[in-house]
Copies of this chain bind each other. A is one copy, B any other.
Amino acid sequence: MAAPKKIGAQTRWFQNPPVILACATIVGEKEGMGPLGHTFDKVIMDSYYHEKSWEKAEQRMLQEAMQMAVERAGLSLKDIDFMLAGDLLNQIISANYTARNLEVPFIGLYGACATLYESMALGAMLIDGGFAEYVLIGASSHYATAERQYRFPVEQGTQRPLYAQWTVTGAAGMVLAQQGAGPVITHATIGKVVDLGQQDPMNMGAAMAPAAADTIMYHFVDTGRTIDYYDLVITGDLGTYGKELAQRILINNGYDITPRFTDCGVLVYAPEQDAHAGGSGCACSAVVTCGYLRQEMQKGNYQHVLGVGTGALLSPCSSLQGENIPGIAHAVVIEAN
């Protein structure tokens, strides 16, 4: 007896596709000044968000975005079956303290920058599996907290190579529901960890591109679909060079998605904002998916979207011990409804 909702090795389909009932986003000043600035619900001009540390600021953004999503859905926290969330900070503290404050049953995740898409995939399975009516998901990152944990304190003013990306300061919340109005999630493709030997902690795009390409290919193989089915394939945070690399890997494998392919990290900053290769971080795919993408689908500009969260499994500890930085990518199919 095979699993009835399985298509191919990595893809699952949903009998009653869960609905993206409501979304909310908060971003920092740089993101608010970027080309997608008008698509976000709230822009904070103080990187500390009136808190005593950047970590506390990040947690506050996540909590506020998740609460806002619940309110927009016309629900109260008591209606939420499960909260699925994670972030880039060690021990996912932004998500933990948010779960503590919201007092909702909590399933903690770590999917690096792919966390929102990991949550969407899992949340959709929990709803379609009959275990939840409403799932609250969320993810956050903060430029200053990520830089000091993963690379150098920002005060140090370390030179950034041009292929480096800029961690998005922001947070997003999303309510997935068994029924209601909104775009639906029809499929999820769970990714494998892919390692092509990248070792430079400044070059996240190159670490994630092979995983993104792998998951997109397996999605096509599993579903028997081609790029023709989709209006848009949008990856999480490959950035300029990572996107190009993923494109090239896909072309080399016989899948040319170039004309319909974009990346949240490419969209989120303008070239004159000096973010080098574009945005990255959990918040990158989270705020662009919950802001820009959802609004474009609502306007009818996209009907069939393959969203692909991408994560670089960067660890300062394992990097210093000579290990590579592998990547992972999880995809979901979002259909306008």
Interface residues of A (CB under 8 A from B): 1-6, 9-10, 12, 15, 52-53, 55-56, 81-82, 86, 89-93, 96-97, 99-100, 103-112, 118, 121-122, 125-133, 149, 178-179, 190-195, 313-318, 321, 323, 326, 328
Closest B residue to A51 using CB positions:
B321
Interchain CB contact under 8 A, B191 and A105? yes
Contacts of A315 in B (CB 8 A): 89-91, 93, 96
In the complex, which of the residues B99, B195, B323 contacts A193, with contact meaning CB atoms closer than 8 Å?
A: B99
**CB distance B321 to A130 under 8 Å?**
no
Q: Are B6 and A90 closer than 8 Å at their CB atoms?
A: no
Let me know if A131 and B125 touch, CB within 8 A: yes
Whether B323 and A97, one on each chain, are in contact in the complex, defined by CB atoms closer than 8 angstroms, is yes
A105 to B125 Cα, complex, angstroms: 15
A99 to B326, CA, bound (A): 10
In Å, the complex CA distance between A316 and B91 comes to: 9
Chain B neighbourhood of A326, CB < 8 A: 96-97, 100
Given contacts A105-B9, A106-B192, contact A131 B3 (CB under 8 A): yes
Q: Which of the residues B100, B129, B316, B323 comes within 8 Å of A131, measured between beta carbons? A: B129
- The distance in angstroms between the C-alpha atoms of A198 and B203, with both chains bound, is 39
Verify B190–A107 contact, CB threshold 8 A.
yes
> Chain B residues near A194 (CB, 8 Å)?
100
* A129-B126 in contact (CB<8A): yes
Which residues from chain B contact A3 at a C-beta distance below 8 Å? 81, 127, 130-133, 178
Residues of B within 8 A of A52 (CB): 321
In the bound complex, residues from chain B placing their C-beta under 8 Å from that of A192 are: 99-100, 103-106
Which residue on chain B has the smallest CB distance to residue A190?
A: B105
Q: B107 touching A118 by the CB < 8 A rule?
A: yes
Q: List 14 A-B contacts (CB under 8 A).
A: A3-B132, A5-B129, A5-B130, A10-B105, A12-B131, A91-B112, A91-B318, A99-B192, A105-B190, A105-B191, A107-B111, A107-B118, A110-B110, A125-B126
What 10 pairs across the A-B complex have the smallest Cβ distances?
Answer: A129-B129, A100-B193, A105-B190, A91-B315, A110-B110, A5-B130, A99-B193, A4-B130, A90-B90, A96-B313
